[in-house]
């Protein structure tokens, strides 16, 4: 019998790469893979739902699963980071500590993105600054981050301002038009008035992990409901293939440390020590229950959901014991 043909929309993340490049193949499945950047992937899947299997924003799945989103999740989390430690502020803003964000202007590409949910939740629960105490500035295409063309309405008390077309958050922060924003990549240039809110980022990541018990994830993979109901066996086969892809990447880490990173092996060991000796990127439901519960609770508090869905509503039954 020929393998089942399925289309897969992926983002080029290291832990999933062996699946994308063909080193790992799900049993009984032949994948036609499209790989693109996260913004394009989320927009394309959210607007058209054209792929059998797709990378997805986990916060969107949690928010939409009881509103008719017909997908089945796989408990794989290939993208993680401590989003709040990417916050940078303008030195003329009067900000010195996270508590000083009270009353300030924060820029976010999208209020609805998982990064924003974790930044707001961390500021509220760890530093005493709830979302209502910050003025939020977002890009004009906020609506494109809402699945199936829905309209996002901010919760009561939240001030949401749309910036002018063509504006970019990093440039606005440099100009002092906003006070704080998350900056990825290399951060501000030398001599800039933009500074990191957490100068010792590693120490702050360690604090968050000790207090919350996880490193936040942003993505999962989902199967279209109609495809899953017709072929329920594919969920476990896909999950096992993604676990195998991760194992290959984990086992070859030492071989991939750049030669110029002289103490790469030692840094990797320190990272695991910082995270209590645990796998920084665990798959499966039990290893991610604190993360799933916290994200769901913060989505409830921030007005994205009115009830928290159970993991059995989000993930394929065959993966519930993982």
Q: 194-196 and 87-90 as β-strands: parallel, antiparallel, unpaired?
A: antiparallel
pLDDT in tens, 75-123: 999 999 999 999 999 999 999 999 999 999 999 988 988 999 999 999 9
CATH architecture, domain defined by 4-80+217-319: 3-Layer(aba) Sandwich (3.40)
Mean pLDDT of the 157-163 span: 92
Using CB atoms within 10 Å of the CB of residue 112, give its burial: 0 to 12 exposed, 13 to 18 middle, 19+ buried.
Answer: buried
pLDDT at 44: 84
Nearest to 182 by CA among 216, 212, 151: 216
Cα separations in angstroms, 275 against 16, 79, 266: 22, 16, 14
pTM: predicted TM-score of the whole model, two decimal places: 0.92
Which residues on adjacent β-strands are paired with residue 148? none
Instruction: Show the tokens assigned to 156.
Output: 């009561």
pLDDT at 150: 56
Q: How confident is the model at residue 254 (pLDDT cuts 50, 70, 90)?
A: confident
Say if residues 129 and 215 touch (Cβ distance below 8 Å): no
Q: What are the domain boundaries of the chain?
A: 4-80+217-319, 83-212
pLDDT in tens, 34-68: 999 887 888 788 778 899 999 999 999 999 999 99
Nearest to 73 by CA among 61, 87, 59, 81: 61
Sign of CA dihedral 75, 290, 200, 120: positive
Mean pLDDT of the 139-153 span: 61
Instruction: Report the percentage of the chain scoring pLDDT > 90.
Output: 74
- Distance, CA of 90 to CA of 254 (rounded, Å): 38
Count each helix (H run) and each strand (E run) in the chain, helices first: 12, 11
Say if residues 162 and 140 touch (Cβ distance below 8 Å): yes
Given a cut of 80, whether residue 127 has pLDDT beyond it is yes
- Distance, CA of 92 to CA of 292 (rounded, Å): 37
Say if residues 133 and 103 touch (Cβ distance below 8 Å): yes
Say if residues 110 and 117 touch (Cβ distance below 8 Å): no
Per CATH, domain 83-212 is 1.10.3720.10: no
Mean pLDDT of the 129-158 span: 77
Tell me which of 18-27, 172-181, 235-244, 272-281 is least confident.
272-281
**Domain 4-80+217-319 matches domain 83-212 at the CATH topology level:** yes
Helix (H, G, I), strand (E, B) or coil at 117: helix
Given a cut of 50, whether residue 144 has pLDDT beyond it is no
Mean pLDDT of the 172-200 span: 87
Given a cut of 70, whether residue 145 has pLDDT beyond it is no
pLDDT at 98: 98
What value does the mean pLDDT of the chain take? 91
CB neighbourhood size of 169 (10 A): 22
pLDDT at 186: 58
pLDDT at 143: 47
Burial 122-153 (b: 16+ CB within 10 A, else e): bbbbeeebbbebbbbbbbeebeebbbeeeeee
Cα separations in angstroms, 4 against 7, 46, 71, 220, 227: 10, 24, 19, 22, 11
């Amino acid at each position: 019998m020929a393998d089942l043909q399925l289309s897969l929309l992926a983002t080029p993340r290291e832990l999933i790469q062996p699946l994308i490049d063909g080193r790992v193949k799900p049993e009984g499945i032949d994948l036609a893979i499209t790989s693109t950047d996260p913004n394009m992937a989320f927009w394309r899947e959210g607007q058209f739902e054209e792929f059998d299997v797709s990378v997805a924003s986990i916060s969107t799945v949690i928010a939409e699963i009881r509103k008719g989103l017909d997908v089945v999740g796989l408990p794989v989390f290939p993208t993680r980071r401590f989003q709040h430690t990417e916050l940078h502020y303008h030195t003329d803003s009067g900000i010195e500590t996270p508590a000083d964000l009270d009353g300030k202007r924060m820029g976010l590409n999208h209020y609805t993105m998982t990064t924003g949910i974790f930044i707001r939740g961390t500021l509220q629960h760890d530093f005493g600054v709830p979302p209502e105490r910050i003025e939020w500035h977002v890009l004009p295409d906020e609506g494109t981050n809402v699945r199936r063309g829905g309209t996002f309405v901010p919760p009561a008390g939240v001030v949401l301002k749309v910036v002018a077309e063509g504006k970019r958050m990093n440039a606005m922060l440099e100009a002092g038009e906003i006070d704080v924003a998350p900056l990825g990549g290399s951060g501000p240039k030398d001599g800039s008035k933009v500074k990191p809110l957490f100068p010792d980022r590693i120490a702050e990541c360690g604090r968050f992990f000790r207090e919350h018990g996880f490193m936040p994830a942003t993505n999962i993979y989902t199967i279209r409901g109609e495809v899953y109901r017709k072929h329920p066996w594919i969920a476990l086969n896909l999950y096992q293939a993604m676990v195998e892809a991760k194992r290959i990447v984990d086992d070859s880490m030492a071989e991939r440390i750049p030669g110029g990173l002289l103490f790469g092996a030692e840094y990797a060991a320190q990272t695991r020590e910082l995270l209590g000796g645990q796998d920084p990127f665990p798959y499966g439901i039990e290893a991610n229950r604190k993360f799933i519960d916290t994200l769901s609770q913060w989505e409830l508090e921030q007005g994205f959901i009115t009830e928290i869905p159970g993991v059995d509503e989000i993930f394929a039954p065959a993966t519930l014991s993982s």
